Amino acid sequence: MRKSLVLALLLSMILVVSGSVFAEKAEITIAGGSVGQELELTKEAAQMYMEEHPDVKVNVLDTPDLATDRLGLYLQFLEAESPKVDVYQVDVIWPGDLAEHFLDLYNYGAKDMVDDHFQAIVENNTVDGRLVAMPWFTDAGLLYYRQDLLDKYGYDVPQTWQEFERTAKAIQEGERAAGNQDFYGYVWQGDAYEGLTCNALEFIYSNGGGTIVSPDKKITINNEKAIEAIDMASDWVGYISPPGVTGLAEESARKIWEAGNAAFMRNWPYAYPLGNVEGSAIKGKYDVAPLPAGDSGKSAATLGGWNLAVSKYSEHPEVAADFALFMAGPKVQKLRAVKGSFNPTIKSLYQDEEVLEASPFFGSLYEVFTNAVARPSTATAPRYNEVSRLFFQAVHSVLTDEMEARTAIEYLELDLVDLLGYEIGEPRQP
Amino acid sequence: MSRESADLIKKTLFYLVLLVIVFYLLFPFYWAVNSSLKTEPQLSMTPATFVPRDPETGNLDFHFGNYKQVFSDAQFMRGLVNSTIVATCTTFLALLAGSFAAFALGKLRFKGKQPSLYIILAMTMFPQVTVLTGLYAVINTLNMGARLSMIITYLLFTLPFTTWVLTSFFSELPIEIMQSAQVDGATPFQTFRMILLPLTAPALVTTGLLSFIQAWNEYLFALTFTAIDVKARTVPVAIQLFSGEFARQEPFGAIMAAAVIVTIPIVVLVLVFQKKIVAGLTAGAVKG
Amino acid sequence: MSSGNLAREEQKLAYKLLIPAFLILITIAVYPLGQVFYTSFTDKTFATGREASFIGLENYKTLLSVTIKELPPVVDENTGEQKIGEDGQPVFERPIRVLPRRPELYRPVFEFSFFSNRFVVGAINPDFLTAVWNTIIFTVFSVFFETLIGLGIALVVNSEFKGRGAMRAVMLVPWAVITVVSARMWEWMFEPTRTGFFNMIFERMGVGDGNFSFLTTTELQLPSLIAVDVWKTTPFMALLILAGLQLIPNELYEAARVDGANKVKQFFSITLPLLKPSLAVALVFRTLDALRVFDIFQVLLSQKRYSMASYNYFQLIQARKMGLASAVGVIIFIVIFIFAVTYIKMLGVDTDE
């Protein structure tokens, strides 16, 4: 009796909702990337949706590319419980923190879709059993290397950090002796910001040092493997990396790399097409590989990327959710992969010929993308940003020689215990 | 040493000092101009070059692609209009309300003068980001449009500034001027309008200019208030939303080009107001 | 009309004239400012539905708690004497072993020696205290140099010469460059390789090897930022001072010249005293802006080193601790208030009769 009552109520609600939806043109707004081509592709996809659903109007809103600025803006909207934005493009580290503002997409038909997507991202976006965001495109840290220089000095693409250090040093010395005083072996992101968390997570996790906080909510950072990995990175500074690497972010590293002044670079896939533009000093001379492995014997790449979440303050939740699922679906993801080299989150697209033709390394690095390691954003929600800040500041203080790795990590552990109240545990192995 | 040669040395020294000042003020801006004429490969050259050069041959090699990109950015061009509207209105309101208040605070006797001064200053003593949330709530409640929101909220920092500066200038003026006007039968307000305002014209122009630029440069409020109303975006927001071809790519050259394009109208504005400043000065000289 | 009547009229007019300013103030300032004060006594989280509770002065306590502890010497077990480190200095216990952990974790801010004893200053929130320190150092130096250079430029421009009009436009350029962009521009000049202007020029002059990392080397961070701010805001000072200079009647100088006073004497007996009020106002607003400095810290140093306002920003946006961020705002407010009142009193430009 009660069941049927609930059912009837639900049905009538759906009727009312859909009734109001179809009565007039529903207008929804998606807030997302501002970047030229990215914005164009979003608009194109929105156009496709509107053609299929003539009763819906989709507005595309561009927001700052700088993640902090974008987050600040979103927070203002969410604090005001604003219905003005229906679909948010959210960073892979935000779902945990912002979960309370988003609808559970499982209630809107996402169940049938998620199996096609990368497991790691779906897990990352699932908070207390609710799917708060749909995977849209992914990112992972890659090792860019100069094929011509490896050939010149007779090295293979390094598989371990030890090999890597040796190779980088040898090439750096060779190039410097040949007259390029600005040449360095390795550029990466060592500035005190989220990018350092990504970089450090890679060398720590690949060395068997875990993920700061494990998925089962144990604080694992204070271990020998992690300290060893941080010490290794701090030795790079001024040795195979410029002293200023502690101030480098993605773009500043890419500039050194593209000027032909580095043998290796750690960066996201976006740098791949940019190095091949006309006038670039490294055009056609480089390729990408998985980052070297540490003591764990496995390489690690930090999971990046963006997802689509539907605001629970939306006036048209049904339409907004349907639109989000459409955007994250195979048709739009393929369009974005072919036209904009955005890494799809749908597994089958990595076998798609058109996609592979546009970005050949999608195929060879499939493993890197599927095995990318997530930052502990869901395990530490809603305090991930703070965890990350404490972490990158600790690592940065070691890189700049302000603190010993051991002391910095000890403090970090104390801070994390205070902040999260979790227990201390053993690191998870890849 | 003859008087003439002493004068000559003095003059040379003076212009030398002037040259140093001009160099100091303009060099970083020149570097922006230089960077705006470079392509991405040119920007990443080591060592950096004083003029755009070809990375291979080292010949002069200017590129105007960045300017093309900026001028074809509709949002940026609209931003110029929006910024002008917003900054002008804010400045006008700040000068109006500010000069009224400053006249009272600088020249009239009344109870509660000092508290008033401090209360007005207190408006601007919080960091912007702290008051942003509260302001956003106010704007949502009053349901103001984006442009109006910016005009009104920018008064938060322009009004205290104009009020305080003008107060100091008004109180500088000799009290006799007012008294003689009162003897002539002018009301205090007439004194204000006919005598004080023209006398302090240079101060008004300077204050107006400084607050105009402050409003013109504001970013954080503008970003938040125009987030939905895309058509109301101002120049700083438009520039921050500039983008490269790919995600994460920072179009540095285009940002520099935009900086150059935006700075020039302001310089022109000053050159135009120049006459006003001079006129205000001579007017003051005649009456004073 | 009796004089009492006249005074009453004047008072009435004054209040009327203040109406617009106060109307604006009530509309836009009262609620946000009041909200900041109120929130600073709660544990509100930004952008969450959870109810905030009133926690009194807890936020302020977290921000400002400081403790001093002595570091005991580390004793060598074999000799029974204090251990000597590799650098020849006596070894003391690490602060982490000495500073209290419960109920709150204290972290070291700095260490100092006193009569061969070693002490450590710890705080719950060392980042904030160093942010206060950074901001004050930044403010003192940048305002000092801006005033000095600004006064110099204003005096030069105030004399008669050809091209004075153009000069005034040139003066404005640094101030007119959009703040967020100018910070990026300087970041570019400070690049840690020879793509950056400073490394290129220093290397060319034989200083260093083109690898100065201006923004990550602790000793270079604040000087770099001060240099940027001095460049950017000297015009603001110069223009305000210039406007003040122009209000000084020429007759005064002529009279002084007749009396045989030289330029230097004229400057100290006429210019400076008469400039005091405009200088005071310029100083108040410069100091106020410098104490709230945000853009250049956010762009150039981001999370490496904070100013009070950038600390505030990251606490609000990243940590979403709105209560704590508001308390930071209130502390900034108080610091600025103290500075403002001090200036006004020191320069004796109180407008109250």
Sorted by where each begins, the domain ranges of chain C are 64-123, 127-346
Question: Is A268 close to B40, i.e. CB distance below 8 A?
Answer: no
Q: In angstroms, how far is CA A35 from the centroid of its own chain?
A: 16
* pLDDT tens per residue, range C92-101: 888 888 888 8
The answer to which of A69-73, A206-210, C76-80, C147-151 has the lowest mean pLDDT is: C76-80
SS3 content of chain B, % helix, strand, coil (to 5): 75, 0, 25
Strand order in the sheet with A142-146: A184-187, A262-267, A142-146, A286-289
A236, A262 contact by CB (below 8 A): no
Tally of structural domains, chain B: 2
Q: Assess whether B248 and B141 both reside in one domain.
A: yes
Residues B90 and B228 in one domain: yes
**B244: number of Cβ within 10 Å:** 22
The residues near C273 (Cβ < 8 Å, ≥ 6 apart) are none
Same domain, B58 and B76: no
In the predicted model, is pLDDT for residue A21 greater than 50?
Answer: no
Alpha carbon of B111: minimum distance to chain C alpha carbons (Å): 7
To the nearest whole Å, the CA of A241 is away from the closest chain C CA by: 11
Task: Mark whether B81 and B1 lie in a shared domain.
Answer: no
Q: Using only C-alpha atoms, what is the Rg of chain A?
A: 23
CB under 8 Å to A78, separation ≥6 — which residues?
A98, A101, A311, A313, C47
Comparing alpha-carbon positions, the chain B residue that sits nearest to C330 is B126
Checking if the pLDDT of A22 tops 60, the result is no
If asked whether residues B77 and B55 sit together in one domain, one would say no
Is A281 touching B (CB cutoff 8 A)? yes
Whole-number pLDDT of residue B172: 76
* A1: pLDDT strictly greater than 50: no
Q: Does B39 share its domain with B92? A: no
Q: Does an H or E element contain A308, and which?
A: strand A303-310
The per-residue pLDDT of chain B, averaged, comes to 86
User: Same domain for B189 and B283?
Assistant: yes
Is the same domain home to B50 and B152? Answer: no
CB atoms within 10 A of CB A423: 10
Among all residues of chain A, which has the CA nearest to that of B73?
A36
Asked if residue B287 has pLDDT above 70, the reply is no
Amino acid, res. A121: I
pLDDT for A39 equals 87
DSSP B81-135: HHHHHHHHHHHHHHHHHHHHHHHHHHH---TTHHHHHHHHHHTT-S-HHHHHHHH
**Residues of B in Cβ contact (< 8 Å) with A280:** 40-41
Q: Locate the chain B residue with the closest alpha carbon to C275.
A: B172
Set out the domains of chain A in order of their start, with CATH numbers: 2-132+304-370 (3.40.190.10), 142-301+377-424 (3.40.190.10)
Q: Is C193 an 8 Å CB contact of chain A?
A: yes
CA–CA separation, B22 vs C157, rounded Å?
11
User: Using CA atoms, how far apart are residues C294 and C198, in angstroms rounded to an integer?
Assistant: 23
Say which DSSP state A291 is in. Answer: P
Contacts of A76 in chain B (CB under 8 A): 132-133, 136, 224, 227
Chain B residues with CB-CB distance to C271 below 8 A: none
Which CATH number belongs to the domain containing residue B236 in this structure? Answer: 1.10.3720.10
Q: Over range B116-137, report the average pLDDT.
A: 90
> pLDDT tier at A6 (50, 70, 90 boundaries)?
low
Q: Which chain B positions have a beta carbon within 8 Å of C254's beta carbon?
A: none
Structure tokens given for A21: 């939806």
| Domain covering C127-346: architecture | Orthogonal Bundle (1.10)
- pLDDT at res. A19: 46
**DSSP category for residue A347:** G
Over the stretch B168-224, which tens digit does the pLDDT of each residue have? 888 877 777 777 777 777 777 777 777 777 777 777 888 898 899 999 999 999 998
3-state secondary structure of A48: helix
Residue B266 is predicted with a pLDDT of: 79
Other CB atoms within 10 Å distance of the CB of residue B197: 17
Q: Say what the pLDDT of residue A413 is.
A: 95
Residues in chain C with CB shorter than 8 Å from the CB of A415 are 105
Q: Check CB contact under 8 Å for C218 and A415.
A: no
Average pLDDT over residues A362-384: 91
Identify the H or E element spanning A370.
helix A366-370
Q: Are residues B241 and B283 in the same domain?
A: yes
Q: Does B17 share its domain with B78?
A: no
Does residue A409 register a pLDDT over 60? yes
A400 with C96: Cβ contact below 8 A: no
Q: Are B168 and C347 contacting, i.e. CB atoms less than 8 angstroms apart?
A: no
Q: Is the pLDDT of residue A189 over 90?
A: yes
pLDDT at A3 over 80: no
pLDDT of residue C101: 83
Which chains pack against B, by 3+ Cβ pairs within 8 A?
A: A, C
C299 Cα to chain A: minimum distance (Å): 11
pLDDT of B282 over the 50 cut: no
Q: Residues B54, B83: one domain?
A: no
Strands (E), chain B: none
The mean predicted confidence, pLDDT, of chain A is: 91
Q: Find the Cα–Cα–Cα–Cα dihedral C11, C17, C18, C22, rounded to 10°.
A: 140
C36, C181, C233, C318, best to mutate vs chain B, most B CBs in 10 Å = C181
Per-residue pLDDT of chain C (353 residues; tens, 9 = 90+): 456 777 888 888 899 999 999 999 998 999 999 999 999 999 999 988 888 899 999 999 999 999 999 998 888 888 888 888 877 788 888 888 888 887 888 888 888 988 888 999 999 999 999 999 999 999 999 999 999 999 999 999 888 888 887 888 888 899 999 988 999 999 999 999 999 999 999 999 999 888 899 999 989 999 999 999 999 999 999 988 988 888 788 888 888 888 888 888 888 888 888 888 888 889 999 999 999 999 899 989 988 999 999 999 999 988 899 999 999 999 999 999 998 888 888 876 654 44
Please check whether residues B55 and B177 belong to one and the same domain.
no
| pLDDT higher than 50, residue B288 | no
Distance of CA A235 to the CA centre of its chain: 26
Q: How far apart are CA A57 and CA A59, in angstroms?
A: 7
Range of the domain at B175: 66-287
